[in-house]
Amino acid sequence: MTSTTAPRPKPRERVLDAAARLFIREGVHAVGVDRLAQEAQVSKRSIYQHFESKDAIVADMLTEYGPRVVAGYFRPEDDDRTPRERVLHVYDALHRAAEAGDYFGCPFVNVATELRDREHPAAQVAQHFKGELTAYFERQAAAAGAASPHVLAVQLTLLFDGASASAALCGGTPLAARLAAETLWDAAVSAAR
């Protein structure tokens, strides 16, 4: 007989899954290693066999979890969308995430903010993924012939970060951010014409 259930994830994976659930929802400082061990059903000793420190768990969690977050916002860049549609899709996806409830803000910004240390390994991972968002925006802006693709991309990233913070803090849905993105985009693209 073949078992129809998936094999149980290995301890390291279980710890990272538990870390993603707890750190994203409650914050890094609010969750201790004991709680993580309990949630992952792994002994504390086993945790320290797989990870050097709690700091390393935070960094590895963001590294593993990051691509899934990013995938929710990016569109394949070879489909038939226009660059403008790809950019606005990011804000639409944020709007949907915020509407769905249980939205805690951008996990990269939240973790890095809480750590208050730009050199922390997890803060470096967070900066990497924020950089990916800016690079995605910049590719779209360059494809559309925007006047200064990098400046526009940074502005769109700031807007995204402000909107995700506001969605988490006040429960506001970020429609105003989408409108602002349209205004910034159209000003930069028409200025280039």
Q: What is the contact surface with a second copy in residues (CB under 8 A)?
A: 25-27, 29-30, 104-105, 109-110, 112-114, 116, 118, 123, 126-127, 130, 151, 154-155, 157-163, 165-166, 168-172, 174, 176-177, 179-180, 183-184, 187-188
For residue 182, which amino acid is it?
A: E
For residue 61, which amino acid is it?
A: M
CB of 17 to a second copy, least distance (A): 19
How many angstroms from the chain centroid is the CA of residue 2? Answer: 38
Paired tokens of 80:
């038939």
Q: Which is nearer to a second copy, 42 or 152 (CB)?
A: 152
CB of 132 to a second copy, least distance (A): 13
Q: Which is nearer to a second copy, 81 or 192 (CB)?
A: 192
CB of 121 to a second copy, least distance (A): 14
**What are the start-end ranges of the H helices in 41-82?**
44-50, 54-71
CB of 149 to a second copy, least distance (A): 12
CB of 136 to a second copy, least distance (A): 16
Q: Which is nearer to a second copy, 105 or 121 (CB)?
A: 105
Q: Which is nearer to a second copy, 79 or 102 (CB)?
A: 102
Q: What is the dihedral of CA 161, 162, 168, 170, to 10 degrees?
A: 180
> What proportions of the chain, in percent to the nearest 5, are helix, strand and coil?
70, 0, 30
Q: Which is nearer to a second copy, 30 or 135 (CB)?
A: 30
Contact between 60 and 18 (Cβ < 8 Å): no
How many angstroms from the chain centroid is the CA of residue 151? Answer: 21
